[in-house]
Amino acid sequence: MLTDRINTLSESITIAITTLAQELKAEGKDILSFSAGEPDFGTPRVIKDAAIDAINNDFTKYTAVDGIPALKEAVANKLLRDNGLTYAPNQIIVNNGAKHSLFNLFSATIQSGDEVIIPAPYWVTYPELVKYCGGTVVEIETHDASAFKITPEQLKNALTPKTKMLVLTTPSNPTGSVYTKDEITALGKVLEGTDVIVASDEMYEKLIYDGEFTSAASVSDDMYQRTVTINGLSKSVAMTGWRFGYMAAANTELIKATKKLQSQSTSNINSITQMAAIAGLDGKADADIEMMRKEFMIRRDEAVELFNAIDGLSVLKPDGAFYLFVNIKEVSNDSLKFAKDLLAQQEVAVVPGIGFGSEGYFRFSFATDIKSIRTGIKRIEEFVKSLK
Ligand code: PLP
């Protein structure tokens, strides 16, 4: 009954573990979950008020498929203000979350025979979308020793005449690594003279603790022309459930193609979310963003210290996002078994590294209160002791 295309898809391992943890919690178990990729803060008041106004003003009907003009203008202003990038309204489309932006982008550009380079560890969705669109995933492996970043040499070696796209995620989910301007410039140089699209997923842009954020399209004109910038508000202003994301590209034909797909599939995103998103983009929530960033940084610092004090585990201090990618190679070479046993024995949920394409690690989200982080890491320590 089902198509070959749908059968290429696997279930998201992060969602699977988070759901399992929620079910066990509902059964009354004392589960501590560090698996979800969402802030534990509420959406800022100013954004909620904009949504309530939208409802009260009956802004509840179909809108332009690619987003209302005021929202696209807010996106363009944000990209100019924060990233120094100039995009016209026909170079921007608003989607149902950045995941949907990626789905539309991959659907419009990837087909059988195309290769997509994905640095590993990667966010779980990328390879699934490539397979769904009939493309081939080309992984570039990275390790904690190189701060989980690919080098220009690795990129050069992965390129073939079939390469259609490079996916770059900075800050990274699951490692929190952030590429510097020089590093992105060097990667961009390798791509000069090719037609390779760079899909730059900048979802965690606002969560930077050390160093600076650089938008891939901003490093050179060549990179501006080839890059599709993907971003949203899910992580920066805790709007995961509202479903708002966007992509921007120099290539207007590409944006037009994704608009066509959207017009025949989901149509416009929720009208109320669009009004709320304007408030999230135009600076009104900046104080809330900074409050969350500072709080995440305090948690990061303490969690890194606690993990590195555990015999058998080690972790790099991530420059951004809200994840630690903890190395378990001294105690386990099977991250799925590690995560399952940890959940069963200590009632702690983490995501196995294998789900992100890297064996020998687990992902720990510190978008959870500090008390739970402390208790959770203590339980993980007990579990690790039992393995020795
Ligand atoms: N990109 C990355 C790297 C993510 O980690 C996530 C969410 O986990 C997304 C995109 C999707 O975000 P959204 O909620 O806007 O679909």
ipTM of this model? 0.99
- Alpha helical stretches, state H, 114-178: 125-132, 152-158
Widest pairwise Cα distance in the chain:
62
pLDDT band at 17 (very low <50, low <70, confident <90, very high): confident
Do 98 and 231 touch, CB atoms closer than 8 A?
A: yes
In this prediction the pTM is: 0.96
Any ligand 1 atom below 6 A from CB of 99: yes
Q: Which CATH number is correct for 4-43+286-387, 1.10.1200.10, 3.20.20.70, 3.90.1150.10, 3.40.190.10?
A: 3.90.1150.10
The protein residue with its alpha carbon nearest to ligand 1, atom 8, reads 37
Domain ranges for the chain, please list them. 4-43+286-387, 45-281
Same fold, 4-43+286-387 and 45-281: no
Mean pLDDT of the chain: 96
Task: Compute, in angstroms, the gap from residue 335 CA to the centroid of ligand 1.
Answer: 23
Residue 207 has pLDDT above 90, yes or no: yes
The protein residue with its alpha carbon nearest to ligand 1, atom 5, reads 173
For residue range 289-334, list pLDDT tens digits in order: 999 999 999 999 999 999 999 999 999 999 999 999 999 999 999 9
Task: Compute, in angstroms, the gap from residue 382 CA to the centroid of ligand 1.
Answer: 32
Question: Cα–Cα distances in Å, from 200 out to 37, 156, 313, 385?
Answer: 19, 18, 31, 40
Residue 73 has pLDDT above 90, yes or no: yes
Third-level CATH fold of 45-281 = Aspartate Aminotransferase; domain 2 (3.40.640)
pLDDT value at position 375? 98
pLDDT band at 177 (very low <50, low <70, confident <90, very high): very high
